[in-house]
Amino acid sequence: MEKVTVIGAGLAGSEAAYQLAKRGIPVRLWEMKRLRKQPAHTEDTFAELVCSNSLRSDRLQNAVGLLKEEMRRLDSLIMQAADATRVPAGGALAVDRHLFSDYVTQRLKAMPQIEIVEEECRDIPEGPCILASGPLTDGELAQAIAARCSGFKLHFHDAVAPIISFDSIDMEKAFFFSRYDRGSDYINCPMNQQEYDAFYDALVGARLADLHEFDRDANIFEGCMPVEVMAGRGRMTLAFGPLKPVGILDPHTGKRPYAVVQLRRENAEGTYYNMVGFQTRLAWPEQKRVFSLIPGLENAEFLRYGVMHRNTYLDSPGFLQADYSVAETPELYFAGQITGVEGYVESAASGMTAGISLARRQMGLPPIDFTGCTVIGSMGQYVSRGLGGAFVPMNANFGLMDPLQGKIHGKKNRQELYVQRALSTLENLVPAVKGEFYEV
Ligand SMILES: Cc1cc2nc3c(=O)[nH]c(=O)nc-3n(C[C@H](O)[C@H](O)[C@H](O)COP(=O)(O)OP(=O)(O)OC[C@H]3O[C@@H](n4cnc5c(N)ncnc54)[C@H](O)[C@@H]3O)c2cc1C
């Protein structure tokens, strides 16, 4: 059988190689770390966790927790490694990063179907291939990818404001209104002086995310100043800048607020809103703490936190299909953060989908559609379709899944239904997927 090339033994490439190999497909896995490391990597082993040792929530009521369970049921190598090396972390799944990485490396090295090439891959090879070179892809490979994108952009940086689920905004406090009464496109969160002062003090005292050397160059984000930097220029800079209340009347009071945080619609359905002018480098827990002080956002669900960092990712909608294959050349797949999924687990999940899909293609089997009823399928749909506006990398969240039928009251009830639907959808698929297992 023809060998499949997998480029990069990170979270996505390791999972993809495993899914292919266990189905009996020969794999050539390229990993360059022994010769050259990308700036965030320090170890020679595979599936290195470059920052936190947490794979986030393990609770089913959370989309990334449900995604983990789906991956376990599909026999994920990354989840086996995580479960075998977990350390106590409350409701989160945290791991001993060295044991985790060693586990993945040893399992892949022991698989007879996998040939490991510890060199830098400089071009996209002919034939079936999964490209999983990660968010710091650079050099000749990055140039080859950019050339292959044919009209679709390859981004090298990511500077976005947090995205919040509409459901979680308290509309008793917030209100729809466009400045100068020109419609109702924006959600406005009004602040009085006391609320503004409390928010301001928390913002200027908040902790920043740890920055790597490659993220320090402020010039790459031209015209895009972090909200905390702007705040640092003076107490009233935000109130006269992005939070200015000019032309806005609060219908609850009939008065102009002291300051206003505006949220702009991110998708056609109006289920996602971004915080206007809030691109930020604050650490994620600090974003939750500080931005939840804004009236109306006390219980905000952050579908994506703000970031400003190096991140190589494709303009995937239209370029990639939901199984992460390139629409024009379906033998070529991408996987991992480079596709526009965000996070360790999401990267591994995309590697899983790409690996299963390419294995089935090689075996002459029809494709498996995980559908928008599962988290793993909804991530593929997001990457291939986006939300309609500018495409930004995204974590797993229930808002990306197919909507539930009918009006379901209560967040808890909705979450339970998402979980039930996802697991029963998968139950119907798993025998088909498991049928291809090749024991090693
Ligand atoms: C600095 C930083 C911190 C992050 N922190 C977190 C976090 O705390 N939590 C979280 O959930 N997500 C985090 N992420 C996001 C993301 O989850 C990780 O980057 C994740 O490792 C992505 O998985 P991946 O498989 O796409 O890429 P990677 O895990 O980076 O794997 C890519 C692999 O490809 C190899 N490679 C690249 N080019 C070549 C080549 N030309 N030839 C051969 N091999 C090559 C690399 O050496 C690497 O091993 C972070 C990202 C960055 C950049």
CATH code assigned at 338: 3.50.50.60
Considering the chain, what percentage of its residues have pLDDT values greater than 90?
Answer: 78
Q: Which residue has the higher pLDDT, 169 or 436?
A: 169
- 439 lies in a domain? no
- Look at residue 439 in the predicted model and tell me its pLDDT: 43
Question: Do residues 133 and 38 touch, judged by C-beta distance below 8 A?
Answer: no
Tell whether 148 and 189 lie within a shared domain. Answer: no
Across-strand partners of 314? 154
Q: What are the CA-CA distances from residue 306 to residues 148, 298, 315, 386, 393 (Å)? A: 29, 17, 19, 18, 11
- Look at residue 440 in the predicted model and tell me its pLDDT: 35
Q: Where are the beta strands (DSSP E) in 32-108?
A: 54-57, 86-87, 92-95
> What is the C-alpha to C-alpha distance for residues 32 and 24, in angstroms, rounded to an integer?
24
Residue 309 makes CB contacts below 8 A (sequence gap 6+) with 157, 158, 211, 212, 215
Tokens matching residue 172: 């008793």
End-to-end CA distance of the chain: 17
C-beta 419 within 6 A of ligand 1: no
- Look at residue 437 in the predicted model and tell me its pLDDT: 57
Tell whether 117 and 193 lie within a shared domain. Answer: no
Tokens matching residue 268: 């056609």
- Look at residue 435 in the predicted model and tell me its pLDDT: 61
Tell whether 37 and 129 lie within a shared domain. Answer: yes
Q: In what order do the strands lie in the sheet with 163-165?
A: 175-176, 186-191, 259-265, 272-275, 163-165, 302-304
Considering the chain, what percentage of its residues have pLDDT values greater than 70?
Answer: 96
Tell whether 283 and 246 lie within a shared domain. Answer: yes
Q: Which of 84, 135, 134, 111 is nearest to 25 (CA)?
A: 111
From the CA of 311, give the closest atom in ligand 1.
53
Amino acid symbol at 70: E
Number of domains into which the chain is organized = 2
Across-strand partners of 313? 155
Q: Which of 127, 74, 27 is nearest to 345 (CA)?
A: 74
Probe target for ligand 1 pocket from 53, 308, 311, 337, with the most ligand atoms within 8 Å of CB: 337
User: Last residue of some domain: 280, 305, 330?
Assistant: 305
Q: What is the mean pLDDT of the chain?
A: 92
C-beta 8 within 6 A of ligand 1: yes
Q: How far is the CA of 137 from the centre of ligand 1 (A)?
A: 9
From the CA of 141, give the closest atom in ligand 1.
41
Tell whether 403 and 287 lie within a shared domain. Answer: no
C-beta 372 within 6 A of ligand 1: no
Q: Which domain holds residue 193?
A: 163-305
Tell whether 141 and 9 lie within a shared domain. Answer: yes
> What is the C-alpha to C-alpha distance for residues 125 and 7, in angstroms, rounded to an integer?
10
- Look at residue 221 in the predicted model and tell me its pLDDT: 60
- Look at residue 184 in the predicted model and tell me its pLDDT: 81
Tell whether 257 and 330 lie within a shared domain. Answer: no
Tokens 């056609």, residue located: 268
- Look at residue 268 in the predicted model and tell me its pLDDT: 79
**CATH code of residue 211:** 2.40.30
Probe target for ligand 1 pocket from 19, 52, 133, with the most ligand atoms within 8 Å of CB: 133
Question: Do residues 355 and 15 touch, judged by C-beta distance below 8 A?
Answer: yes
Tell whether 215 and 321 lie within a shared domain. Answer: no
Classified as helix, coil or strand, 141 is helix
Count the alpha carbons within 13 Å of 385 in the hemisphere toward its beta carbon. Answer: 13
Tokens matching residue 140: 């000749």
Tell whether 333 and 418 lie within a shared domain. Answer: yes
Tell whether 314 and 298 lie within a shared domain. Answer: no
Looking at 22-126, list the stretches that DSSP marks H as alpha helix, in order from N- to C-terminal side: 63-73, 77-84, 97-109
For residue 305, pLDDT beyond 50? yes
C-beta 341 within 6 A of ligand 1: no
How do residues 286-304 score in pLDDT, each as one tens digit? 999 999 999 999 999 999 8
Query: CB count, 10 Å around CB of 153?
Result: 12
Q: Which of 132-136, 212-216, 401-405, 435-439 has the highest mean pLDDT?
A: 132-136
Tell whether 139 and 193 lie within a shared domain. Answer: no
DSSP 196-265: HHHHHHHHHTPPBPPPPGGG--GGGGTT---HHHHHTT-TTHHHHTTT--TT--BTTTTB--SEEEEEEE
How do residues 212-258 score in pLDDT, each as one tens digit? 776 766 555 656 789 999 999 999 999 999 999 999 999 999 999 99
- 364 lies in a domain? yes
Q: Which residue has the higher pLDDT, 439 or 435?
A: 435
Tokens matching residue 95: 């791991």
Tell whether 294 and 197 lie within a shared domain. Answer: yes
- Look at residue 150 in the predicted model and tell me its pLDDT: 76
How do residues 181-223 score in pLDDT, each as one tens digit? 777 889 999 999 999 999 999 999 999 988 777 676 655 565 6
DSSP 155-190: EEEEEE--EEEGGGS-TTT-EE--GGG--S-EEEEE
How do residues 362-420 score in pLDDT, each as one tens digit? 999 988 899 999 999 999 999 999 988 889 899 999 989 999 988 888 888 999 999 99
Strands 27-30 and 114-117: parallel
For residue 26, pLDDT beyond 90? yes
Tokens matching residue 435: 């049928």
Q: What are the CA-CA distances from residue 311 to residues 81, 125, 184 (Å)? A: 26, 23, 34
- 270 lies in a domain? yes
User: Last residue of some domain: 259, 282, 305?
Assistant: 305
- 326 lies in a domain? yes
